[in-house]
A and B are shown apart, each in its own frame.
Chain A
Amino acid sequence: MAQAPLRLLQDTLRRSAARLPEKTALVVGPHRLSYGELWHRSRRLARVLRQRGVCRGDRVAIFLDNTWECVVSLYASLLADAAFVVVNPQTKADKLAYILNDSGATVLVTDEHLQKTYLAAIAAAPTLQGVLVTGALPAVDDARLLPFQQELEAAAADQGRERAVSIDLASLIYTSGSTGEPKGVMHTHQSMLFALQSLVEYLRLEEDDCLLCVLPLAFDYGLYQLLMALHLGASLVLERSFTYPAQVFNAMEAEGVTVFPGVPTIFTMLLGAHERQPLRFDRVRRVTNTAAALPPSFNTRLREIFSSADIYRMYGLTECKRVSYLPPEQIEAKPESVGVAIPGTEVMVLDEEGRPVAPGVTGTLYVRGAHVMLGYWNQPELSAHMLKAGPLPGERMLCTHDLFTVDADGYLYFVGRSDDIIKSRGEKVSPVEVENILYAIPGVREAAVVGVADELLGQAVRAYVVLDDASSLVERQLRALCLERMENFMVPKEFRICASLPKGATGKIDKKALLRE
């Protein structure tokens, strides 16, 4: 009999669970889940979600660390015909409330450790109908609060067949933008299935691979490690972070990790560890980098650690998951390039009139393919800014607004961003978002946030602040106030308290002049 087609994202897990029910799908700390168990728990939780009011087309927010419950919640949302919204566990209450309200989530799944944050956020999210909590419930009188474990254990497997179709939403992925508020990137089952199969193809991944994920599942780079692993029937070692490298190394050895995805900050930490005590991971076959450029000088040293691995340099944005990859065979010949379009897609570097640029000339990068997002949730204007008419009637192609050149062989070279987003430790930081939070602090009169080069972080966030005359705020207090209000990676590494800030003719703060000082 022919294989059932993959129409919905969860069909990948359905197929792997039918084929390999006993095989380990997921290793998270002391927990090991087989494909069969992962599938059954997801179906039971889908039933819980439906009982708690989740209907076709709804959104389920998942505010958890990298745990098995996070993975089960994600597939359960899909099985309940809803789209999942994974929120970085570092997110603070105001932003979580914003995401809950913007997405209109029906249910939130979260954890006792995040209690302070989620309680403040759900108080400001009246449309939320249920809050499933892993671990202990708080002593708070809110009928929406439910214990995850008990609900899961009490539920029978969901018997219903999904009604979602392939062009329905599978996920909203919130990402920082230059406007300050995070935007929910809409991806359908179709766009995500397409993207993950393209990635699997060029990374040459197989069923016997064991993928590592130390990146948050809220970040699409982390999320796709999970999606790829479960699609292939491979195994995923899910770690909470790379904070304690020795713990990650132990898990890599114990599980036989073959795929190591990182961002430059992780590779810098890895090379630092290697200098302290030589590391060797001979079983790793693929090392991948994205989010920011990996210095070409890293190649040689990474090869000392990963002697049998192919190293992939890649470029992408959440709006189409990934744009390009450098085939590992080209890494010596074209070390500065981010490569060519991922399989099944097309890229174009165009000038302002929409004509392809000649080799070596800078233009704007456009992307065509089934991986392009549907748009931003509730943001038609921002969507129109990113999605432009394509060659076919009604087609939308993605304008990355990033500047590129292309060489005579068609390989891409990143020149710069056309917005002012800062990339710090692989995370996008919106200067406007940080400035808005600074302006909301009593005593702050003016604020300007810029990115400056930093060896470990790629770019570090620097804030220039002018205080009210009566204010006695010092750097340490500003930092503490920021920590309460924004994710750690957004908190400026450096504050400069100034008497005034340079202004342009229109009265706008002149950031270029600031950086020259």
Chain B
Amino acid sequence: MTIRQTIRRYMLENFLFTDADSELQDDASFLTQGIIDSVGALEITSFIEETFQIRVQESEMLPENLDSVNNLVAFVERKQAQPG
């Protein structure tokens, strides 16, 4: 599975509780669409840390990194490209 597929499956499974792919647009803001609430970003952060073996800094807990499928994919790719 690609990073995008993994993230989409996780979001659909854990926040939308559905297999229907059409329920989640890749550019939709999780916050604006009501997909996550105040503790949701913490869950997403733990998920990407474990799944992609990256470490998210506190200062990176920003919507531009975490608030849509597209943002998450780009963020994970950037983090993986960083040395160690």
Give A residues with C-beta under 8 Å from B. 65, 89-90, 113, 240-247, 249-250, 265-266, 269, 272-273, 276-277, 279, 425, 456-457, 476-477, 479-480, 483, 488-489
Contact = CB atoms under 8 A, between A and B. Distances in A.
B31 A269 contact: no
A269 B38 contact: yes
B17 A243 contact: no
A480 B37 contact: no
A476 B38 contact: no
A113 B32 contact: yes
**9 closest Cβ contacts across the A-B interface?**
A480-B17, A277-B58, A246-B61, A488-B37, A479-B17, A276-B58, A243-B41, A113-B32, A273-B58
A336 B59 CA distance: 33
Given A243-B40, A246-B58, A273-B58, 12 more contacts: A65-B32, A90-B34, A240-B31, A244-B61, A246-B60, A250-B62, A272-B42, A277-B59, A279-B58, A425-B39, A456-B39, A483-B17
Interface in B28-84: 31-34, 36-42, 57-63, 66-67
B31 A243 contact: yes
- Interface class of chain B by DSSP: loop
Contacts, number: 71
B68 to A, nearest CB: 12
B18 A480 contact: yes
Contacts of A273: 58, 61
Contacts of B37: 90, 241, 243, 425, 488-489
Contacts of A243: 31, 36-38, 40-41
Contact of B57 (A242, A269, A277): A277
7 contacts: A243-B31, A243-B40, A244-B61, A265-B38, A277-B58, A480-B17, A488-B34
B69 to A, nearest CB: 16
Contacts of B62: 244, 246-247, 250
B39 A244 contact: no
A113 B37 CA distance: 15
A279 B31 CA distance: 24
A85 B56 CA distance: 39
Contacts of A277: 57-59
Contact of A480 (B16, B32, B33, B38): B16
B16 A244 contact: no
A246 B57 CA distance: 9
Nearest to A90: B34
A444 to B, nearest CB: 16
Nearest to A278: B58
Contacts of A245: 41, 58, 61
Contacts of A480: 16-18
A277 to B, nearest CB: 4
A492 to B, nearest CB: 12
Contact of B39 (A90, A246, A457): A457
A429 to B, nearest CB: 13
Nearest to A476: B17
B61 to A, nearest CB: 4
Nearest to A456: B39
A265 B58 contact: no
A273 B38 CA distance: 14
The interface centre, meaning the residue of B17, B31, B32, B42 with most chain A CB atoms within 10 A of its CB, is B17
Contacts of A476: 13, 17
A269 B46 CA distance: 13
Contacts of A479: 17
A266 B58 contact: no
A483 B23 CA distance: 13
Contacts of B41: 243-245
A449 B41 CA distance: 26
B45 to A, nearest CB: 10
A276 B32 CA distance: 27
Contacts of A244: 31, 41, 61-63, 66-67
Nearest to B15: A483
Contacts of A249: 58-59
